[in-house]
Structure 1
Amino acid sequence: MRTGVALPNVTFRTRVRDESIEGPNPFRWQDMTTADYFKGKRVILFSLPGAFTPTCSTYQLPGFEKNAETFRENGIDAIYCMSVNDSFVMNQWAKSQNLENVSVIPDGSGEFTRRIGMLVNKDNLGFGMRSWRYAAIINDGVVEAWFEEPGLCDNHGEDPYGVSSPENLLEYLANAKAEAAA
């Protein structure tokens, strides 16, 4: 993906809590589109190989959650975590992580991830098709800044992490703010 490129139009199949539904699973299906998430907002989107995986659950997701207020102070309206996992998995992961500031987007079929060129085969880990790790600042549906981990390829032997870290995005935002003020 490159800066200045518009995100692809995709419909995401999500499950949302609905108090009118009784029983142990009070959720209903709700389709959300790229425009629903990104239109008219400046947001962070980060994606990772899988919910509940070590780097994602220990560093990347908690780092974005913990720094949400600082991101807001730097002009970010929302923070989204995407993974090629279904809505059931993403909702349970969000619940287990006690998320209050980061919203999850399920790309269950990998359609969005494929269309932005980040879908990779992770058969070497028994995952199948998943997202390569990246982060982006999206302004009204257009990529403002792109942070992709090195080595994009199928069945990569490692899980690089650093370029897409919340700390790296905070540094970018601070520099952009300083440049705008100068």
Structure 2
Amino acid sequence: IFMEAVAKALKDFPMMNISVDGDTIIKRKNINLGMAAALPNGNLIVPVIKNADQLNLVGMAKAVNDLGGRAKLGKLKPDDTQGGTYTVTNVGTFGSVFGTPIINQPQVGILALGAIRKVPAVIETPEGDFIGIRQKMFLSHSYDHRVVDGALGGSFVKRVAEYLEAFDIDRDF
């Protein structure tokens, strides 16, 4: 669900799907999502889901599971870790609520997913506000200010959140 939301948001904000090479800005045609994966020895590797925006949710889930599984077994090929245009890391896997990710250059952005926690939240209704328990998470976004300003970076992460919040479990996959 998360990778799908990021791929959709990158399609909406193509200036987040660019690379920087020296003084040159390279607009990427393909959305190739890097997914940070922890290895059993404690190291980290970033396999890449090529053309992620072309996959439906089932295809995305299969790609994530395949690459993640092969990463843990040490069976990735060099091509599996090349060509990423944007990276997602899940610090929530380790119980972290929030993280500050470091950009995987030459990419210009990376999104960290925090742990999902039950928290009290204000729920607004026509009858009035009340407090209820909701599942919430933090999304933390680092981006290269040479090419991404706060308006673009903030709008992008807001769009990711909107896609996540609008997810319909009853839709066709």
Q: Computing the radius of gyration over CA atoms, which structure comes out larger, 1 or 2?
A: 2
**TM-score, length of structure 2 as denominator length:** 0.27
**TM-score, length of structure 1 as denominator length:** 0.26
